[in-house]
A and B are shown apart, each in its own frame.
Chain A
Amino acid sequence: SAVISQKPSRDICQRGTSLTIQCQVDSQVTMMFWYRQQPGQSLTLIATANQGSEATYESGFVIDKFPISRPNLTFSTLTVSNMSPEDSSIYLCSVARGNQETQYFGPGTRLLVL
């Protein structure tokens, strides 16, 4: 398994501001992902965070709104930019050591935008 931490665990933000969420893993992992879970909904993949290259974004998500960094094999950040109330969600990072491995999820960051 993997021990994953996220910071902050929750936040309340004003519209128009930005928040950067950190994801730290206790060991090196090949694959890191960022998901969004809107209230009462399932999970949707935002992007795959690739170490040493640009993140790969899913349809409906763009780099200007959700810039991602992956400076090494244990750490990634997701920024939610120019926030609006529609961005209120849980943001989760997940990791996997390879394609054949289970994906483990971090504890999530609960974001409320007023």
Chain B
Amino acid sequence: ELKVEQNPLFLSMQEGKNYTIYCNYSTTSDRLYWYRQDPGKSLESLFVLLSNGAVKQEGRLMASLDTKARLSTLHITAAVHDLSATYFCAVDDNQGGKLIFGQGTELSVKP
């Protein structure tokens, strides 16, 4: 059974600092997703990572995937308040598109 674990679950950052969120998963998968959720809102797709060594960047966020280690990272560079949200990683279970979600990381960026 595929399990997905994120850490940390809560992250309080100062503006301008860098930090990394980790996503570990237990079995082989072809695809890993990162989503953002603002309070009271739905999920916004950030990245889809499809292969070992994949790296994608959008603004201050960069995601990478190491399929051998079954690990993905979401790196935040020079955080700003607008990045405050909950970030989820989700792994494709290789069963027709079924996604298994991590617990989510609640990020708070303070001035």
Q: Given that A48-B97, A48-B98 are known contacts, is A107 also in contact with B104, CB under 8 Å in the complex?
A: no
Q: Judge whether B104 and A42 touch: CB under 8 Å.
A: yes
Q: Given the known A-B contacts A48-B96, A102-B48, A103-B33, are A43 and B101 also in contact in the complex, defined by CB atoms under 8 Å?
A: yes
Q: Is the CB of B103 within 8 A of A103?
A: no
B97 to A99, Cβ gap below 8 A?
Answer: yes
State which of B42, B88, B97, B99 has its C-beta within 8 Å of the C-beta of A107: B42
Bitwise, B35-49 to A at CB < 8 A (1) or not (0) is 100000111010010
User: Would you list which residues of chain B between 3 and 32 have a CB under 8 Å from chain A?
Assistant: 31
CB contact under 8 A between A102 and B96, given known A42-B101, A92-B42, A92-B43: no
Give the dominant DSSP class at A's interface: strand
- Who on chain A is nearest to B44 by CB? A105
How far is it, in angstroms, between the C-alpha of A1 and the C-alpha of B43 when the chains are bound? 13
Residues in B whose Cβ lies below 8 Å from that of A103: 33, 45, 90, 97, 99
A96: which B residues are within 8 A, CB to CB? 97
B42–chain A nearest beta-carbon distance, Å: 5
Asked whether any CB of chain B lies closer than 8 Å to the CB of A45, the reply is: yes
Q: A106 at interface (Cβ–Cβ under 8 A)?
A: yes
Q: Contact check, B97 vs A42: say whether CB atoms are below 8 A apart.
A: no
Given A92-B42, A92-B43, A105-B43: A99 touches B101 (CB 8 Å cut-off) = no
B91 to chain A, nearest CB (A): 12
B78 interfacial by beta-carbon distance below 8 Å: no
The 5 A-B residue pairs with the shortest CB-CB distance, nearest first, are: A105-B43, A43-B101, A42-B101, A107-B42, A31-B97
Q: A residues within 8 Å of B by Cβ? A: 1, 31, 33, 42-45, 48, 56, 58, 92, 94, 96, 99-100, 102-108
